[in-house]
Chain A
Amino acid sequence: MPLLELKDLTVSYGRIEAVRGISLTVEEGELVTLIGANGAGKTTTMRAISGIRQLSRGSVWFDGKDISRMKAHERVLAGIVQAPEGRGVFPGMTVVENLEMGAYARVFPTKAEHDETLARVYELFPRLHERRDQVGGTLSGGEQQMLAIGRALMARPRLLLLDEPSMGLAPMVIQQIFRIVTEINQAGTTILLVEQNAQQALSRSHRAYILETGEVVTSGAGKELLADPAVKQAYLGVA
């Protein structure tokens, strides 16, 4: 049984269908990527999974249960945590306060466990520890992305949704973020990643789905897709 399953998912903005009948699965422990051009429906799909957008058709299944009607904040309790596109860091809160907000819904049973998780986040992102008392709004783009991921980790997700973590970042920072994403996945957290940076994303993920205008056009193992001539041409800019 997959951890996450989308069945014929359709999401509309008014009369426009941004996502048209997507079906996909994410198995426990996997790192799965959705890639596609602008307007392909990647972010909309993410928002439907995290519950910020309503579905117009189809269903979302998590851990064997239909969660299509579940509210966004209840999905966090179930274990689906998103690091939103554009980072969504609380600008007036310090880094620590932002991280604490990640644990808002899923309160730590003991302080020791809290400290342990916080220490792990700092270990993954030493930069956040350096900046812990600085307010979120004054962090650089890369640091904000780290904070968004760190904050999501504080909720101890079963499924981590990462929406374009590489957006607007320098190539070196992108490398670093992807390395950490892989590390988080290897430590046992299932990840669904949305990316435009196909090269990095495909080489690091187990499987990938390619979206075009709201539909899945291809899917397969990350490395296979990387070698696929059609994908190469469309997303990697290689003829």
Chain B
Amino acid sequence: MSTETVTAPAAPHLGVGDRIRLWWDTLPRQTQWLVGIPAIVLIALLPVLRPPVLTTVGTDFGGVLAQFGMYALLAIGLNVVVGQAGLLDLGYVGFYAVGAYTVGLITSPDSPWRVHGLDPHWAWLAALPVAVALTAISGLILGSPTLRLRGDYLAIVTLGFGEIVRLLADNLSNITGGGRGLSRIAYPVVGTSSTRPTGVFSAGNTAHPVNSGTAWFWLSLVLIVVVLTLVGNLERSRVGRAWVAIREDEDAAEIMGVPTFKFKLWAFLIGASIGGLSGALYAGQVQFVVPTTFNVINSMLFLCAVVLGGQGNKLGVILGAFIVVYLPNFFIGRTNLFGIPINGNEIANYKYLFFGVALMVLMIFRPQGLFPARQKLLTYGRDVYAAARRAATALTHRTEETVGEAR
């Protein structure tokens, strides 16, 4: 009846990443944690150990990692929207801005909305949930009228949203502080000592080995683990299955009884609040927000992290975020690479060009990203899935690739 289908599980054609994931999937949950926790600890120790291969020259390594932490959160949030539910959001930077500006407006002395009487030690922490809640609401406000649109139309509208947020921040000086931005934003005052009179999180903390960048990196790592656990559980639930169905074929999902609008709105809301969380971290770390930071080109960079890492794979997109943040910083201040003289700063300046080329190359050779996603979608648990998986390994992986090419 059909000629194009593969009948016999012929020689499996697997990439290195596929093999690792396959092996990882078959491990029991406890073992996964046993491997995962030391790995996380090792990553957390990076800014303290500062391995010479990895460490950056022109910028502080701790600061780079802190930025990576925020981008990783953004990538996880954007991945819920783009990777899971398949809604192309080009204005994600808008949510990042709403989160950062909320913290700024509550705590900065320049702000017309400053909340007086907040204990300066806890001001940042108090503003954090407000920032997340307000971003979630902004996601709802953007989503409820626009999620009736699909594909390119949705992308254009969200692109507009990102710009609107920035333009409002720039032009409504009475409400947002305008183009001068908001300075002296609160940060958590923890761990004050003689070498760190303003605490570990203060931008003024440059003492080794735990400088302000390292402290923020650690905080963001904790938040990443928390957010990953929450998002991971959502993915494995009925919500996750609904998202994948919507991504694959929205009409078919609706016909299967999935309330598509509701779940799209949820994806938007969850994605937005994670973006807002990241924005709040940013405001606290830099202690200064200004509209130009939230240029739309940042949305493209976030999207680049997601696409590069592999849409729908939450660990993949974290790696994507690392590449997007780390690579330009790796070149800054470098005059020599493997004995070849280079102008590192120039190379870093052209990062958009290089990421653009990288994306094109990726689309040709590995359209699903470096670490493509493979969901577990069965109603009855991962054991059933693992069993089915072992039997079908070869077959599925071959066919997966064909689908990727067909898209």
Contact = CB atoms under 8 A, between A and B. Distances in A.
Contacts of A114: 379-380
Interface string B380-394: 100000001101100
B377 interface: yes
Interface residues on A, range: 35 or more
Given A103-B379, A137-B403, A90 B257 contact: no
A169 to B, nearest CB: 10
Contacts of A15: none
Interface residues on B, range: 35 or more
B119 to A, nearest CB: 48
Contacts of A158: none
A155 B4 contact: no
B406 interface: yes
Contacts of A40: none
B257 A73 contact: yes
A82 B254 CA distance: 10
Contacts of A97: 377-378
Given A52-B254, A71-B259, A140-B1, 7 more contacts: A51-B254, A90-B244, A90-B252, A107-B379, A111-B380, A132-B392, A133-B389
B245 A106 contact: no
B256 A140 contact: no
A81 B256 CA distance: 7
A94 B1 contact: no
B343 interface: no
Interface in A156-200: 170, 172-173
B360 to A, nearest CB: 23
A67 interface: no
A138 B402 contact: yes
B380 A104 contact: no
Given A100-B377, A104-B238, A104-B241, A76 B1 contact: no
Contacts of B403: 91-92, 135, 137-138
B395 interface: yes
Interface in B238-260: 238, 241-242, 244-245, 248-249, 251-260
B254 A91 contact: no
B5 interface: yes
